[in-house]
Chain A
Amino acid sequence: MYDFIRGPLVWVAFLVFIFGTAYQVYRFYQLSRPKERYRLRIPFGKPPKDPDEAPGEPTLTWWQQMRLSVVGVNPVMVSVTTLFHLALVLTPFFVLGHNVLLDLAWQISLPSLPEAVADGLTIVVIAGGVFFLLRRIFLARVRAISTVYDYVVLLIATTPFITGFLAYHHFFDYDTVILLHILAGEIMLMAVPFTKLVHMPYFFINRFVLVHENTLGAGGSRTWR
């Protein structure tokens, strides 16, 4: 069991994660379609430059737009979720322990964060998880659409960090905790394409591929309908 979790299951987890996520992105491209090109052309002359004659140009400053966006409406949630997700995705790459393992296996490694910083980022993830848990329990609108599934997925996403924290600080039996840590990480990776954690690729699809007023980058290239 120990060898299986440390050996083959790691590969299975990474393959399921990579190919499963690629499949979900492929499905998105199948289900959506390219945005239509403008069929209307201005028949002659240049478009008017006077702002009063050119409707559709944004007349709000970036700050006013921000205030009206989800950032201004839900500032606490947006701040917590941004920190939580950044720490969750980035920390594993720069933990010293992970890089030592990579170095031992393939003689390659990424730069490592000081251990105290990595520890702090882990606490950020756990605290974010607690925030989401409390929000799900106490906010009526979140509770209204919550099921057991939501709590299970929250557990799947935070367990690797809870066990990692426990292992680093040598709480409880180290061998057991580190094995649970590896298993939890594998479960999380495999869960990404097949649970609501699929919002990982969909966040980028929404922000950079779908066309809408909040698209970043080149303005998007595809629409659902």
Chain B
Amino acid sequence: MSSNDQAPINQDEVRRILDQHKDKTKTALRVCAHCSLCADSCFLYHVHDKDPRYMPSHKFINSLGKLYKKKGKIDRAGFKEIEEIVWRRCVLCTRCYCPLGIDIPEMIAIARDICRSQEVFFQWSELEQPAE
């Protein structure tokens, strides 16, 4: 789906970007009360029959949160999953609501930054076309 599929992950680069946003990431991960009140503010959550994987907090915790906790030590397969989260499950519409004020779109945007640095991004042109 993305270009340069097989190249090894440049972990130094991943860590460099993670470090740039370390304080905000750490704060957001700590403040998140895992209350799930953000769920209903996401239109993608609604159109996917309330699939928890579309809940804003789930997306943030499993993309940037995962990268942060594993200190960037994530392989290609792991990045593939993060690509799915930050491009397919979030469109950065910035309409999510957090009762504690976490800037979830910013967290997703940082995760996208890290993905781009590893040539991981979504190729819309390769999207499967619906059958006629």
Instruction: Give chain A's interface residues, CB within 8 Å of chain B.
Output: 27-28, 30-31, 70, 73-74, 77, 81, 139-146, 150, 194-196, 198-199, 202-203, 205-206, 210, 212, 214, 224-225
Contacts and interface: CB of A to CB of B under 8 A. Distances in A.
A196 B55 contact: no
B1 interface: no
A142 B34 CA distance: 7
A31 B102 CA distance: 12
Interface string B23-40: 110010011111111011
Contact of B99 (A142, A145, A196, A206): A206
Nearest to B65: A145
B57 interface: yes
A81 B52 CA distance: 21
B39 A141 contact: yes
A70 B36 contact: no
A205 B101 contact: yes
Which interface class (under 10, 10 to 19, 20 to 34, 35 or more) fits B? Answer: 20 to 34
Contact of A145 (B30, B31, B55, B103): B55
Contact of B100 (A139, A194, A203, A225): A203
Given A28-B27, A142-B34, A199-B33, A224 B103 contact: yes
Contacts of B23: 27, 30-31
B15 interface: no
Nearest to B33: A199
B58 A145 contact: yes
A145 B56 CA distance: 11
A31 B101 CA distance: 13
B34 A145 contact: yes
A224 B106 contact: yes
22 contacts: A27-B23, A28-B27, A73-B40, A74-B37, A141-B36, A141-B39, A141-B58, A145-B52, A145-B57, A194-B30, A196-B30, A196-B34, A199-B31, A202-B100, A202-B101, A203-B100, A205-B101, A206-B98, A206-B99, A206-B100, A212-B101, A224-B101
Contact of B55 (A141, A194, A210, A214): A141
